[in-house]
Amino acid sequence: MQKKWWQKEVIYQIYPKSFYDSNNDGIGDIKGITEKLDYLQSLGITMIWICPIYKSPMADNGYDISDYYQLNPEFGEMKDLDELIEKAKEKGIKTVLDLVINHTSDEHPWFQDLLQNPDSKYKDYYILKPGKNGQPPNNWRSVFGGSVWEPLPNTDQYYFHSFAVKQPDLNWENKQVRDELYKMVIYWLEKGLAGFRVDAITFIKKDQAYEDLPPDGVDGLGKCTIKARNQVGIADFLHELQEEVFSKYDCVTIGEAPGVPYEQYGDFIGENGYFSMIFDFRYADLDVASGSEWFKRVDWNVLDLKNLIFTSQMEIQKAGWGANFLENHDQNRSISKYIKEEENRNFYSATMLGAMFFFLRGTPFIYQGQEIGMTNFTRKSIEEFDDISSIDQYYRSMNEGFTAEEALHFINLRSRDNSRTPFHWNENEYGGFSKAKPWLGMNENYNSINVEQQEKDPDSILNFYRKMIQTRQSGEASECLIYGDIEPILTEHPVIMAYKRKWNGKKVVCYFNFSAENQHVEIDQNHYTVLLNNYKEEIPSNQEMVLKPYQALILLQKEERHHG
Ligand code: NOJ
Ligand code: CA
pLDDT number for residue 564 = 40
Pocket residues: Cβ below 6 A from ligand 1: 60, 63, 100, 163, 199-200, 256, 329-330
Name the least confident of 442-446, 495-499, 555-559.
555-559
Give, using CA atoms, the residue closest to atom 5 of ligand 1.
Answer: 330
- The beta strand positions in 422-505, using DSSP E, are 485-489, 496-503
Q: At what angle do helices 234-244 and 175-190 cross, to 10 degrees?
A: 40
User: Is 405 an active-site residue?
Assistant: no
pLDDT band at 523 (very low <50, low <70, confident <90, very high): confident
Q: What count of Cα atoms within 13 Å lies in the side-chain half-sphere of residue 85?
A: 17
pLDDT number for residue 7 = 98
| Distance from Cα 506 to the centre of ligand 2, integer Å | 48
Q: Are 114 and 122 contacting, i.e. CB atoms less than 8 angstroms apart?
A: yes
Average pLDDT over residues 103-107: 99
Q: Are 438 and 26 contacting, i.e. CB atoms less than 8 angstroms apart?
A: yes
Q: Which of 463, 557, 455 is nearest to 501 (CA)?
A: 557
Q: Are 538 and 558 contacting, i.e. CB atoms less than 8 angstroms apart?
A: no
| Distance from Cα 59 to the centre of ligand 1, integer Å | 11
Q: Which of 167, 198, 169 is nearest to 65 (CA)?
A: 167
Q: What's the CA gap between 193 and 142, in Å, rounded?
A: 32
| Distance from Cα 63 to the centre of ligand 1, integer Å | 6
Burial of 3 (0-12, 13-18, 19+ CB in 10 A): exposed
Query: Measuring CA to CA, how many Å separate 273 from each of 243, 264, 277, 278?
Result: 10, 10, 9, 10
pLDDT tens readout for residues 168-219: 999 999 999 999 999 999 999 999 999 999 999 999 999 999 999 999 999 9
Q: Are 17 and 28 contacting, i.e. CB atoms less than 8 angstroms apart?
A: yes
Query: Measuring CA to CA, how many Å separate 381 from each of 330, 406, 417, 501?
Result: 20, 12, 13, 46
User: Is 524 an active-site residue?
Assistant: no
Average pLDDT over residues 436-452: 98
pLDDT band at 561 (very low <50, low <70, confident <90, very high): low
Tell whether the model's pLDDT for residue 563 goes beyond 70: no
Tell whether the model's pLDDT for residue 479 goes beyond 80: yes
Average pLDDT over residues 525-535: 90
Q: Which of 199, 371, 392, 417 is catalytic?
A: 199
